[in-house]
Every structure is written in C-alpha cells, then in structure tokens.
Amino acid sequence: MIHNFNAGPSILPREVFEEASVAVLNYNDTGLSILEMGHRTPEFTAIMEEARSLVKELMQLDEHHKVLFLHGGASTQFMQVPMNLLNPKDTVAFADTGVWSSKAIKEARLFGKVEIACSSKEKGYTFIPNDFAVPNDARYFHITTNNTIYGTQWKSIPQTSNVMVADMSSDILSRQLDFNSFGLIYAGAQKNMGPAGVNLVVVDERILGKLKHQIPTIMDYRYHIQEESMLNTPPVFAVYVCLLTLRWLKKMGGVAAIEKRNQEKADLLYAEIDNNELFTTSVQKHDRSLMNVCFAAKNPEHEKMFLDFTVANGVYGIKGHRLSGAFRASLYNAMPLSSVQLLVELMQTFSQSVA
C-alpha cells in the first residue's frame, strides 16, 4: 500500500477514484464517458449546478458570493484578480509570506501599484507576520492563507477595512473560516478538492464592475457569473471529480469535522518532530501549517537514508520542495490518520536504528 504525502497533485478519497473510474467508461448508465459528455447537456449542467451548490453549502456563503469553476490553477488568478479589481493608478497591498505570494505580487505590478504591508522573507518565510498596517487606500489586501513550500499558515485572518483577497489553494475547505468576510477567494483544486486543471473562485459580486477600462471578456468574472461557469467549455472531468470530493466532504461531516481530523493528524506529526532527537523544524510553532508539515534531519547525512527508508515502507512524496529541501509531509483532507501514524512509527524506528 502506498501512503501519498505528495504536495500536489495530491491524495484524494479512494471512493472518489472508484466512482470517477466508472464514469470514465459509462457515466450514470448513459452509455457515454464523462470525458466525451457535452458540457451543455442536462447531465453535465446538473453536475456543475450541484458542485457550485455544495461549495456554497460547505462554505456557508451568502447570496452575494458567487461560485465559479474556471480553467487553470492559482497562477492564472495571480493575473486575473488584479485585472478585474485594479485601475492603473490603484494601490493593492500584499502580505509576502512565501513563493506563491511573491509570484502574485509580480503579476499585480502589471496592473497597479503594489505595497508590501508585511513580509517574512528576511527570515526565510518561517513565520506569519502579526504586526503591520494595511494602507487605507489599498483597493484590496491579498494573503496566501497556507504556504506549501515553507509550511506556514495564517491561523487568524487579519481584520482590515480593505477588501480581503485570499489564495487558499492548499487549505481550501480544510478548516472553518468566515468565508463571507472575503471579497474574493481562489484555489487550485489539486490539493483538497480534485485534480489539476480547474480553479475554484468565490467572489463577492459587489466588488466587481468598478473598472474604468475594458478587459477581455473571457477574463471578466462578471461574464463567468452570468453564464454560470460555462462562458467557455469547462474542464468537464475535473469539475466532476470536484463534485465527488465535495460530496465526500459533506458525508464526512463537512468543514468542521474535517478540521478536527486535520488538527489531530498535524498534532501527531509535530509532536514526533519536537520529541525526536533526529528531526527539527524551523517554522515558528504558532504558525505551523496543518496542511504541509516541513521538517529536516538535524544531521544532513541522515536525509537520503530516511527518504530511502520511507520509500521502502510505502511512504511516497515526503521529499521537500526544491527551494526548501529536507522533508515535507502534506496532510490534506483525504489523508487518513493511519498514514500519519505510519510515518511517525517510521521516524521512531529510523531514530532507533541510527542511534
């Protein structure tokens, strides 16, 4: 058995794979594969409507927040968000807490003036800033709620009068938040919701339509809202797998239940890192991510040895990102507690073997 700790595309529930595989051959006894189904057929229209409805239910969204399933991942939104929200002379504020926020900053500079309200870059992105002010004239304040590469996470959302925009790609639907407090949320699906190739956007329609210039139709959120995510051909299969995953999440008890489970998994692994003399983490304790646990071997000579040991025992994907190195165990919603328990046991066994 493989225990998949990959950061993304990542683990999904087994029952989702099983149901999706049946649909590839014959969707709902139609005789058609989900891969060849027309996106304007009644069958797929029902899929899209249910997927959007489940997002609204699980996130407890109000009537002003519209749910979109769009092509691409979060990187597309680095450009599409400022394109929809900024006039050329407008200012936007950012929290620079990792690689993905820095990429979003780069794209935003093409559309307006960027102010860095806070940053943890000088200390290697090992913490989340907590003492800063957002410029009053900023059109919006952008945060990346969870940082996959460095293993940090915003535990509380900053209180500001500015419109809040959040990249939630790696912790979407993993914990309870007041999602209605955000003007716009975007998330690549390939961590907690589905396969790569589709992007969830939740936008408060009241923040749109304030531009003094036109943008391309396909990039305008208002037209996607008007056409209910079918302005152009959507990624049919990816949306279908998202629907199956959303159904699974609801069956598991929703966001509150999955948060409790995610906390239990993270607590178990962080406790072992803190107590095991062979391992360490540089992430400040109160900012540790529930989704991406980054840690290292105190002795660099043990790194490859431990990786080889875990692979031999069915643990896949804990090698750290190329920028940060060492180890990273991703504990997304579908990761079972039993897999985390196995990783902890392997850490203990390895520690004893090299002592």
123-154 per-position pLDDT tens digit: 999 999 999 999 999 999 999 999 999 999 99
DSSP label of 180 = G
Mean per-residue pLDDT for 277-285?
97
Interval 30-81: pLDDT, tens: 999 999 999 999 999 999 999 999 999 999 999 999 999 999 889 999 999 9
Residue 114 has pLDDT above 90, yes or no: yes
Count of beta carbons in the 10 Å neighbourhood of residue 231: 18
Q: What is the pLDDT of residue 154?
A: 98
Q: What is the pLDDT of residue 325?
A: 80
CA dist 159 to 64, 156, 186, 187, 328, Å? 20, 9, 19, 21, 30
Q: What is the pLDDT of residue 200?
A: 98
Q: By the 8 A CB rule, do 302 and 321 touch?
A: no
User: Binning pLDDT at 50, 70 and 90, where does residue 111 land?
Assistant: very high
Mean per-residue pLDDT for 305-320?
97
Bridge partner list, 324? none
Q: What is the pLDDT of residue 288?
A: 98
User: Binning pLDDT at 50, 70 and 90, where does residue 279 land?
Assistant: very high
Mean per-residue pLDDT for 213-234?
97
User: In terms of DSSP bridges, do strands 91-96 and 152-153 run parallel, antiparallel, or are they unpaired?
Assistant: unpaired
Q: Does residue 52 sit in helix, strand or coil?
A: helix
Q: What is the pLDDT of residue 1?
A: 84
Residue 349 phi, psi (nearest 5): -65, -45
Q: What is the pLDDT of residue 322?
A: 86
Q: What is the pLDDT of residue 323?
A: 83
Q: Would you state the CATH architecture of domain 14-251?
A: 3-Layer(aba) Sandwich (3.40)
Count of beta carbons in the 10 Å neighbourhood of residue 131: 5
Domain with CATH 3.90.1150.10 in the chain: 254-354
Residue 300 has pLDDT above 90, yes or no: yes
Q: By the 8 A CB rule, do 165 and 340 touch?
A: no
- The average confidence (pLDDT) of the chain is 97
Residue 158 phi, psi (nearest 5): -55, 140
Domain with CATH 3.40.640.10 in the chain: 14-251
From the options 2.170.190.11, 3.90.1150.10, 1.10.357.10, 3.40.50.2300, give the CATH code of 254-354: 3.90.1150.10
Tokens found for residue 350: 């390895």
Q: By the 8 A CB rule, do 287 and 155 touch?
A: yes
- Residues classed as catalytic: 100, 167, 191
Residue 355 has pLDDT above 80, yes or no: no
